[in-house]
A = this chain, B = another copy of it.
Amino acid sequence: MDCDLLITNGLLKTPNNPNPSPDQPGFVAVLGGRIIEIAPMTELPDEVRSARVIDAEGGLVMPGLVNCHNHAAMTLFRGLADDLPLMSWLQEHIFPAEAKFVDPEMVYWCVKLAAAEMIISGTTTVADGYFYEDEAAQAFKDAGIRAIAAQGVIDFPAPGVPDPADNINHAARFIEKWRDDNLITPAIFCHSPYTCSAETIRGAKELTRQEDCLFFIHVSETESEVAESLKRHGISPIRHLEQLGVLDKKTVLVHCVWLDDEDIRIVKETGAGVVSCPESNMKLAAGVAPQDSFIEASIPVGLGTDSCASNNNLDMFREMTVAAKLAKVHRLNPTLLPARQVVKMATSGGAAVLGLQGEIGELTVGSLADIVIIDLRKPHLNPMYEADSLLAYAASGSDVRASIIGGRLVMDDYRLKTIDLPEVVGKVNEMARQVRAGT
């Protein structure tokens, strides 16, 4: 057998064997960026030629995590303003800081810091949306992390798009540039129904249809947003988007906290995906999304951290544990969102939302080799009765020992291989000094 990368002695978490036994370790072989073989160690061929061999040493080998919502550049604003009323946070702190400090260099370096944080904590694919997304895409590519990079569209003057009349054309040029990349998939992020006109939303969706791209939008994040929509349009934000004809399988609805039964029925019928960001929704006191209802309706649901301005970290393991626990206490029902369900949301569920089912989110032959190895020697990861329980309720991003994306080893033995971390931290902290001085 010839391969580029061989992972040995791992507990392989596959769809057919979600709870691998320590007594039956296995191997994963990777060639040309894809998984070509998964089998018990007892079946490892005598002659294997591999450019690289990683001994998992009994670690859990699983698909990398899929973070379905981020504004990665906002690592610069991590902890800049917390514990404030939503409008004061946004209008007095975040918007002014963005107007003053967001430029191409800021986006590049702050996205790289986010990429480092994500790779270290086991995320191998991220769906990002921001301005200067061209620089974001470049930073993701340089870091070696898979990204759906979505150019922001909003009806206000925005960083890099001073004239809102140019916002769709700007996005079109961005998509054109990144269309054929093997790691970066371009898309559009329409900010929201309350910051984008009907014309902008329709135009952006039309462009993504022509280009076969994903269309993201924040929707129904707060109760007041829904009230405002009822006042302006006489209908909920979801019904408004439906009337605009933009809901389909390539539309991703982010937050969806305040959906009623009819909204959920519409989302289900149109095939749109939903991204839940429980930690951000909690921190901003937006509310609790009815994740259990989405799952019951068989709507594709992924998890997202949202940005470091409202979380303030990008650890998808935390997002899993909080998602599972929040759903339970919200309905006072401990059986909701069981461990296997949140692990699915953070892997194959997220992949489905992003239209990448079968490509990422599962450890299967033929999939892209987006793989992480969890170090099971940590005290808090013992004993292990069930891998899903351990991942959902005990593990944290810092338990990830190695990360592989598209067959490329981007972190090995806790060390980043693609990013000069001291350089990135130095650059971002220099910018943070300016933020501190200027706000």
Residues of A within 8 A of B (CB): 75-76, 78-80, 82-86, 89, 113, 116-117, 120-121, 223, 279, 281-288, 308, 311-315, 318, 321-322, 324-326, 328-329, 331-339, 377-380, 382-386, 389-390, 392-394, 396-399, 421-422, 424-425, 428-429, 431-432, 435-436
Report 20 cross-chain contacts, Cβ distance below 8 Å, ordered by A residue: A79-B393, A80-B385, A82-B339, A82-B386, A83-B335, A83-B337, A89-B334, A285-B331, A285-B332, A285-B333, A314-B380, A315-B396, A322-B322, A377-B421, A382-B428, A382-B432, A384-B432, A385-B435, A385-B436, A398-B399
Other than A83-B337, A315-B380, give 19 A-B pairs with Cβ distance below 8 A. A82-B389, A83-B335, A83-B336, A83-B338, A89-B334, A116-B379, A117-B380, A120-B380, A223-B332, A283-B334, A285-B328, A285-B329, A286-B329, A312-B394, A315-B396, A322-B322, A379-B424, A382-B432, A385-B435
- Chain B residues contacting A339 (CB-CB under 8 Å) are 82-83
B335 and A84 within 8 A (CB): yes
B281 and A113 within 8 A (CB): no
Closest 3 CB pairs of A and B: A383-B432, A398-B398, A282-B325
Interface of A is mostly: helix
- Chain B residues contacting A398 (CB-CB under 8 Å) are 396, 398-399
A400, B383: Cα distance in complex, Å = 22
Question: Which of B76, B120, B325, B337 contacts A279 (CB under 8 A)?
Answer: B325
